[in-house]
């Protein structure tokens, strides 16, 4: 396994089995995380131990196979994961494999995920978005990530490596990766144990050290998973992709709506807020003629009234036909402004998500879909 798959405890056990002091573990891992996963040089441990780590484990199991940079500074990476990536491609350096070459190797690289670096309005900081699965099984009809279904869940180390790739990108841009959102490909709460293991390494003081309050987990509304997250008591932020205020509309565009009703999801959200004190974000992608009416805005406001939740309105980013074959459109700016006006008029804290990376297949799953077709 690559070094990314180890936390302090498991690496201590391995080093002890190799006959090395446990005290080597934290400083070696901290150097690894501080370097963005690129190096363990400069750590004061036995040369033989570092050589064995590099020879038998390696620093990474993933590689960047496509990189896009937007005019607004957003960077999107397509990361190859898993053993199915053929050895003859494994030596390709970051960014060297162009789109046409990638298409020729699409079978080998079918296991790939996206992660995104988004510069903050502060010139020295950035946020990162990581994926939790290869593809997605949730079937949301307006999302590119789910169009090919789910291949598998990512390991904790594969998620950590996305974090490290983004940390390295941020460093090269003169920024610090300050926050992480699990809002990329996949449903984090359907890969719960690995996601939590990855978060502990990213947020914990021993390794990534970004802090629990700088991590957000986004879910389509898996109620048992939200309750498990509540029991963790770690104080992370939660975002819920609601996308409609009524069950009929929601289940038509978000298939899990057939299993988890809006009322049940919001009840779980309130339990999370009560236990953690964290304000939950309600994600709502606006689709013309589907979920953007005045009546739906009023119903959403009624459901959220008194709940201290924030609504993040997302202008739809076109992906072509969805899973059902239907093509959706972004509402007019006037219609979106009206939806926002109704929410705010009812006392709901709401805003539009700032559109990022529109010129680089910015929506979740778009880059992967484009290079694989």
- Which residues are known catalytic residues? 114, 364
DSSP 8-class letter at 106: T
The span from the CA of 281 to the CA of 270, in Å, is 11
Contact in structure between 151 and 134 (CB atoms under 8 Å): yes
Nearest of 270, 271, 342 to residue 313 by alpha carbon: 342
**How far apart, in Å, are the Cα atoms of 222 and each of 37, 141, 225, 308, 334?**
32, 17, 5, 20, 33
- The β-bridge partners of 218 are 239
Residues 6+ apart with CB under 8 A from 243: 140, 250, 253, 254, 283, 284, 285, 287, 291
Question: Could you give the 3-state DSSP secondary structure of residue 40?
Answer: coil
Residues 6+ apart with CB under 8 A from 354: none
The span from the CA of 123 to the CA of 164, in Å, is 20
Contact in structure between 370 and 103 (CB atoms under 8 Å): no
The span from the CA of 211 to the CA of 182, in Å, is 15
Tokens 């609504």 sit at which residue? 311
Both tokens of residue 150? 């789910």
- Residue 275 burial by CB count (10 A; 0-12/13-18/19+): exposed, middle or buried? middle
The span from the CA of 166 to the CA of 117, in Å, is 6
């Amino acid at each position: 396994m690559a070094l990314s798959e180890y936390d302090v405890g498991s690496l201590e056990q391995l080093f002890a089995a190799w006959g090395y002091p446990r005290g080597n573990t934290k400083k070696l891992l901290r150097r690894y995380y501080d370097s963005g996963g690129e190096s363990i040089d400069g750590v004061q441990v036995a040369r033989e131990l570092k050589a064995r780590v590099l020879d038998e484990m390696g620093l990474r199991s993933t590689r960047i196979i496509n990189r896009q940079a937007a005019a607004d500074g957003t960077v999107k990476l397509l990361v190859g994961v898993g053993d199915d990536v053929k050895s003859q491609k494994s030596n390709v350096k970051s960014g060297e494999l162009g789109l046409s070459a990638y298409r020729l190797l699409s079978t080998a690289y079918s296991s790939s995920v996206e992660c995104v670096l988004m510069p903050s309005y502060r010139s020295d900081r950035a946020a990162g978005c990581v994926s939790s699965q290869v593809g997605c099984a949730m079937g949301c009809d307006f999302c590119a990530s789910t169009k090919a279904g789910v291949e598998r869940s990512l390991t904790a180390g594969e998620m950590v490596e996305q974090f490290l790739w983004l940390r390295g990108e941020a460093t090269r841009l003169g920024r610090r990766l300050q926050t992480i959102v699990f809002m990329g490909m996949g449903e984090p709460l359907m890969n719960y144990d690995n996601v939590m293991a990855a978060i502990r390494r990213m947020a914990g003081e021993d390794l990534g050290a970004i802090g629990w309050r700088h991590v957000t987990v986004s879910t389509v509304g898996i109620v048992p998973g939200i309750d498990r997250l509540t029991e963790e008591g770690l104080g992370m932020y939660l975002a819920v992709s609601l996308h409609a205020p009524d069950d009929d509309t929601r289940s038509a565009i978000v298939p899990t709506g057939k299993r988890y009703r809006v009322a049940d999801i919001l009840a779980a959200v309130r339990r999370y807020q009560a236990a953690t004190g964290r304000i939950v974000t309600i994600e709502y992608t606006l689709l013309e003629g589907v979920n953007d009416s005045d009546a739906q805005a009023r119903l959403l406001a009624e459901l959220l009234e008194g709940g201290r939740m924030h609504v993040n309105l997302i202008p739809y980013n076109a992906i072509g036909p969805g899973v059902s074959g239907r093509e959706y459109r972004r509402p007019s700016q006037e219609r979106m402004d009206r939806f926002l006006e109704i929410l705010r008029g009812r006392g709901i804290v709401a805003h539009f998500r700032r559109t990022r990376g529109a010129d680089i297949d910015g929506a979740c799953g778009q880059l992967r879909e484009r290079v694989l077709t």
